[in-house]
Chains A and B, each alone.
Chain A
Amino acid sequence: MYIYDTFDRTLVNERVAEFRDQVARRLSGELTEDEFKPLRLMNGVYLQLHAYMLRVALPYGTLSSEQMRVVAQVARRYDRGYGHFTTRQNIQFNWIRLSDMPDVLADLASAELHAMQTSGNCVRNITSDQWAGAAPDEVEDPRIWAEVLRQHSTLHPEFLFLPRKFKIAITASAHDRAAIKVHDIGLRLYRNEAGEAGFEVSVGGGLGRTPFIGKVIRPFLAKRDFLSYIEAILRVYNQYGRRDNIYKARIKILVHELGAECFAREVEAEWRTIKDGALALDPAVVADIAARFRYPRYEPLADDPPEVAVLRRAEPRFAAWLANSVANHKVAGYAIVTLSLKPEGGPPGDATAEQMDAVADLADRFSFGEIRVGHEQNLVLPHVAQHDLPEIWRALDRNGLATPNVGLVSDIIACPGLDYCSLANARSIPVAQELTRRFRNLDLARDLGRLHINISGCINACGHHHVGHIGILGVEKNGEEFYQITLGGRADERAQLGELLGPAVPYAQVADVIEDIVAAYLDLRERPDELFIDTVARVGIEPFKEHVYAVH
């Protein structure tokens, strides 16, 4: 992970001092709420239903064990003993007082954490693959580029008052674990036919009221041009994005209204004027950033150590966890371990301070002090020696972090919804909780295979329901909670939006309907290993509609 130098630290500390001053001026009345709101949003401070919410940045989903401990301490000292990991690889606290925010930020800054630009009409946390740096199928570590861009976009004076929020994601694997196609800018690092590494650039992806899959506007962007080209996109957006209507202000609308080709031409025209200027990336600069990333000193180990084989035979629960939550690492003898934050009956993505401390300890002992957060709201220990797997499993199991449901039906992605969020129309967490209870049987879950359920409590789609295999969207009808259900969405390299199944369903029936959909899948699949998403692709949604609406 990236190691801060004095420049990085100074900037974060200066930000804390600035915000302390801004909060003081707000509390004294010198600043009105209108003047303060964009300032606090740029520091990740939201006002929600019950209280303020603070969204802390975890850059590209990477944090150290020490940082996790500080996060746990914030949860204990200033909040209610827990935090929520989000679909953009950040962490949220739901109960912090505005008057405490400067102290919270100072505590976080001591661990090189901050909340800069986690909200507001600016460039947000740049997200990436939670397996970056460990995945076997990766071209290079995309986080280096995410860090280059994080620095470039942090307090970038020109782009702090964009028409609307701006989200960028980057992947370096053919299999996209970062959902880049539903981001304002999606970057895929790959090697072209000449063997050069460069970026495929997509723009205008996004969910919400008008969802779009991103369009490729530049098939190959050389590394040297990485910053200048993105600068050109941002400048075109800053100048031409709509500001008259907040529902039409994202770049996806501009790309849609101009057309991708015309938009690409605007970007190229701007880019030509700046590409050879101060933003042309010197390889030495990139190498310098890359050198600040610490990588593990792996030991030479063999795959499939006997400790693992022995326990796998002896303990079916370990075997189940191994098969589900442990993935191949690019280095022999190591593994990538996913920690499910989706226990039966739990709010998806939440962790207690105790759990956070436990994860920090495990990271120190078994993962070179490094932890990741995925957009599916689970945690990852990215560099675990395989021979340590039995001990890690026992520790995770004790701490409720070993539910072997990663990627399965009960690994639900959900926004906070009406229980927390002032934008919501309906609750999402209780729906998720009930579904984890209906699908508690792990044999069934395994039999169903990979199945992503995404729940959003309103059209802002923070639960990414449009790209769920099963998407659930909360709406309000006559003061009651109803839910629209979509099928067939995908967030990966074959990204597509789900299709509406039928009329919205009342709260009390949602879990029943999902069970019916799953039953329909079991009926319709060609063979046990045909995934849900592939069955939907093969037969369409009509057969599912018949199943569900015949019963109801």
Chain B
Amino acid sequence: MTSPLQQKLKITGPVVITANRLADGTVVYRGARGDWTTQITEAAVATTAPAASELLVAAVAEDVLVVGPYVAPVELDSSGRSQPGNLRERIRVGGPTFELPGNFGS
């Protein structure tokens, strides 16, 4: 969970590009069609550094749509769908790991 802002681009498994939507901060993932989706399962998966880099460069260029794109690891589940690959990404999918005050569940 070292902040990805300090990461070097080093691919040791499947990764996706994730960011936050500019207008509302929602967590989004870059899809295969160059779109931005809120579902990690629809994210374009890269398995090599050049492929990840290409996705990232395209994402960074979309400064008017998203903020702070970076490369995030995923794990492929038994159906081959992407699931968050570390605790930080699990938290970004599921929200804080405890019940929020004000009775908003996670």
List A residues at the B interface (Cβ < 8 Å): 26-29, 32-33, 47-52, 75, 80-82, 95-99, 346-347, 350-354, 418-420, 422-427, 429-430, 433, 458, 476, 479, 481
Decide yes or no whether B39 CB sits under 8 A from chain A. no
Check A420/B96 contact, CB under 8 A, given A81-B101, A82-B101, A481-B87. Answer: yes
* CB–CB A418/B100 < 8 A: no
* CB–CB A481/B1 < 8 A: yes
* CB–CB A27/B23 < 8 A: yes
* CB–CB A419/B91 < 8 A: yes
Decide yes or no whether B27 CB sits under 8 A from chain A. yes
In the bound complex, how far is the Cα of B25 from the Cα of A430, in angstroms?
24
Residues of A contacting B27 in the complex (Cβ-Cβ under 8 angstroms): 49-51
In the bound complex, how far is the Cα of B89 from the Cα of A181, in angstroms?
37
In the bound complex, how far is the Cα of B21 from the Cα of A99, in angstroms?
11
* CB–CB B92/A418 < 8 A: no
Check A425/B22 contact, CB under 8 A, given A82-B102, A347-B101, A419-B98. Answer: no
**Selected contact of A75 from candidates B3, B63, B68, B102, CB within 8 Å:** B102
Check A51/B20 contact, CB under 8 A, given A419-B97, A479-B86. Answer: yes
In the bound complex, how far is the Cα of B68 from the Cα of A433, in angstroms?
31
Interface string of B18-46 (1 = CB under 8 A from A): 00101111110000000000000000000
In the bound complex, how far is the Cα of B92 from the Cα of A353, in angstroms?
24
* CB–CB A50/B95 < 8 A: yes
Check A47/B20 contact, CB under 8 A, given A29-B63, A418-B91, A420-B96. Answer: yes
* CB–CB A418/B87 < 8 A: yes
Those of B57-106 within 8 Å (CB) of chain A: 63-64, 67-68, 86-88, 91-92, 95-98, 100-104
CB distance from A434 to the nearest CB of B (A): 10
Chain B residue at smallest Cβ distance from A35: B63
List B residues at the A interface (Cβ < 8 Å): 1-3, 5, 20, 22-27, 63-64, 67-68, 86-88, 91-92, 95-98, 100-104
Check A29/B64 contact, CB under 8 A, given A424-B3, A429-B98, A479-B1. Answer: yes
CB distance from A223 to the nearest CB of B (A): 43
Check A52/B2 contact, CB under 8 A, given A81-B103, A350-B101, A353-B102. Answer: no
In the bound complex, how far is the Cα of B88 from the Cα of A455, in angstroms?
18
CB distance from A464 to the nearest CB of B (A): 20
**Selected contact of B102 from candidates A27, A81, A423, CB within 8 Å:** A81
* CB–CB A425/B98 < 8 A: no
In the bound complex, how far is the Cα of B79 from the Cα of A421, in angstroms?
31
Residues of B contacting A354 in the complex (Cβ-Cβ under 8 angstroms): 102
CB distance from A221 to the nearest CB of B (A): 39
* CB–CB A51/B1 < 8 A: no
Check A98/B102 contact, CB under 8 A, given A47-B67, A479-B86. Answer: no
In the bound complex, how far is the Cα of B23 from the Cα of A427, in angstroms?
27
In the bound complex, how far is the Cα of B104 from the Cα of A82, in angstroms?
9
* CB–CB A352/B101 < 8 A: yes
* CB–CB B26/A429 < 8 A: no
Chain B residue at smallest Cβ distance from A52: B25
Check A429/B63 contact, CB under 8 A, given A80-B104, A424-B3. Answer: no
In the bound complex, how far is the Cα of B87 from the Cα of A490, in angstroms?
32
The 8 closest A-B pairs by CB, nearest first: A81-B102, A51-B25, A29-B64, A419-B96, A97-B24, A82-B101, A82-B102, A52-B25
24 residue pairs from A and B, CB less than 8 Å apart: A26-B22, A29-B64, A33-B67, A48-B25, A50-B25, A50-B95, A52-B20, A52-B24, A52-B25, A75-B102, A80-B102, A95-B25, A96-B25, A98-B24, A346-B101, A347-B98, A350-B101, A352-B102, A353-B102, A418-B1, A418-B87, A419-B91, A433-B98, A476-B2
* CB–CB B98/A99 < 8 A: no
Chain A residue at smallest Cβ distance from B62: A29
Chain B residue at smallest Cβ distance from A350: B101
Residues of A contacting B3 in the complex (Cβ-Cβ under 8 angstroms): 422-425, 458
* CB–CB B97/A82 < 8 A: no
Beyond A33-B68, A51-B20, list 18 extra A-B contacts (CB 8 Å).
A27-B23, A29-B63, A47-B68, A49-B92, A50-B96, A51-B24, A52-B20, A52-B25, A80-B100, A96-B25, A98-B22, A98-B24, A347-B101, A422-B5, A424-B1, A430-B97, A430-B98, A479-B86
Chain B residue at smallest Cβ distance from A53: B25
In the bound complex, how far is the Cα of B20 from the Cα of A81, in angstroms?
22
Check A50/B1 contact, CB under 8 A, given A346-B101, A352-B102. Answer: no
